[in-house]
Structure 1
Amino acid sequence: MKAIIGGTGVDSLEGLTLKKTVVGTPYGKVALFVGDDLVFLPRHGSDHSVPPHLINYRANVAALAALGVQEAVGIYAVGSISKALEPGDIGIVSDFIDVSGGAREHTFHIGGSSGVRHCAMDEVFDVALSNRMKALAPYLKDAGVYVCTNGPRLETKAEIRMFAHMGCDVVGMTLATEVGLLAEAGIRTLALAYSINWAAGVEQANVSFIGDAQIEALKEQMTQLCCKALLISSN
């Protein structure tokens, strides 16, 4: 079983026969959409009602694991810090830095009956899945390093200057928490980022987002690409 995890602008999938399913986990119930070979999980809820810092990441990932998901592509809306990924571009994230603050439930291993585990993150993303994606879409950019903030507020200009100095290329609010849990669950993962704006103070004085029509076109492009990359190994 394969999964697409959608975020801002990607909270539904058209053109696929998927049945809404509620999966119970030790961390809570999760509503997602299930087909023969594919699961779609809208991380913010299908009505985009859950802010990034309050997403039940553990329940989401536990639900995917319970359904037998072995590979997942996460789609992440980001702001551009460097020119590695400019607004309107799509790319593959190579690594991440987490500055979300540690207040989120970001691990399954909290001691006691769940034990203690230090999950290695030297190879964050699956190479084989990345190679399949690049073969299907050579135009994809290297999105570089994603810095994960807590949100829901956007970042200050000073914060973005600091992140740029740290070597970060894009900024968002969900990837680090989600990807860490996917790694703990043994689910092979790829992160596909698309930029919807320049981060604060970059290129222009004010944050300016790309239009809804462009986001919709990018959504269709990304979801089709994800389906091909995920299901190609099942055919």
Structure 2
Amino acid sequence: MIAIIGGSGVDEITDMAESIEKKIVDTEYGSVQVSLFEIEGKEVVFLPRHSEGHTCPPHKINFKANIMALKELGVSQILATNAVGSVDLEIGPGSIVIPDDFLDFTVNRDRTFYDDDVVHIDMSEPYCNRLRNALLENSDCVNGGLVDGGTHICTEGPRFETPSEIRMFKMIGGTVVGMTTLPEAVLAREKEMCYASIAIVSNYCTSIAKHKLGVEEIIEIMAVKKEELISLLFNTIKNLPVDYDCECHHALGDAEF
């Protein structure tokens, strides 16, 4: 089973389904609402990261409940969408980045399922390269810039970053900055699920841009890129092989002590 984790706009991919089942999944970490449907005969789950109606701010998302709900449903692959800001003038609003690394600057999030066990998950490839390549191979529908690779810096939010923070992020190798990829990507690896991110650049970051940032421009860019994003997800899912193996599914092999 394949999952899409995303926000407003991406949920319209369910319009391509013949039938949709809404379901509440109860986990030990909380309850999660999802939509179940099919794309080209493949079972798909859509999970609105910010809850239905985009009502949950990034620093309050129950990431552990979300990932556990997908695991309990039988999900093995996750395609996540993330709205981000760019620290690079060459990667402007409307660009899509398929990151291959991240830096975690969150501060108060529950980051692991293993608080009571000694488990060390390898993160040499922070995002699933098999899924990343699948996205890149199905990206003909994307107009404008599509960036293969990059470092996704995740901050706590909900505020935007200061000019000094952005200058630091740029100096240490950041490509884009957002608030939602972590600990999501790590929790997915801990549950041995493949995870890749589609990072949509909605704005330049503070001090990179020549004006103050606002939520409005993020909404505007996401609306413009919506059709491309849905096509990218649809085509990727349609062409994913049914029979496959991946290192992500064996992440706990040498991780437990």
TM-score by length of 2: 0.83
Aligned to 1:6: 6
Correspondence 1:46 to 2:52: yes
The within-5 A match list for 1:28-67 is 28-36=30-38, 37-67=43-73
CA drift at 1:205? 4.1
Confirm whether residue 110 of structure 1 aligns to residue 115 of structure 2.
Answer: yes
CA apart distance, 1:225: 1.1
Query: Which residue in the other structure is 2:188 paired with?
Result: 182
1:216 corresponds to 2:218: no
Range with greater deviation from structure 2 (222-231 or 134-143): 134-143
Structure 2: where are the runs of 5+ without partners?
243-257
**Runs of 4+ with deviation above 6 angstroms:** none
> Any conservation in 1 of the 2:136–2:148 contact (CA below 8 Å)?
no
Deviations 1:61-113 (A, max 9, x none): 00000011111110000011114531111120111000111x211111110xx
C-alpha RMSD of the superposition = 1.9
1:15 matched to 2:16? The reply is yes
Aligned residue for 1:192, secondary structure, equals: strand
CA offsets, 1:168-201, max 9 Å, x none?
0100011121001001011101111001111000
* TM-score, with structure 1 as normaliser: 0.91
CA contact (8 A) 1:125 1:190 kept: yes
More displaced 10-residue stretch of structure 1: 206-215 or 146-155: 206-215
- Work out whether residues 84 and 169 of structure 1, in 8 Å CA contact, stay in contact via their aligned partners in 2: no
The residue aligned with 1:79 is 85
**Corresponding residue of 2:234:** 227
Name stretches of at least 5 consecutive residues in structure 1 with no aligned partner. none
CA contact (8 A) 2:83 2:218 kept: no
Q: Does 1:164 align with 2:170?
A: yes
What is the Cα deviation at residue 230 of structure 1?
Answer: 2.2
Distance 1:7 1:143 in 2: 22
What amino acid sits opposite 1:86 in the alignment? G
SS across alignment from 1:175:
coil
Could you tell me how far 1:203 is from its partner in structure 2?
3.9
Cα separation, partners in 2 of 1:211 and 1:119, compared to 1, 3 Å: closer
Asked if 2 retains the 8 angstrom alpha-carbon contact of 1:11 and 1:44, the reply is no
- Identical-residue share of aligned pairs (%): 36
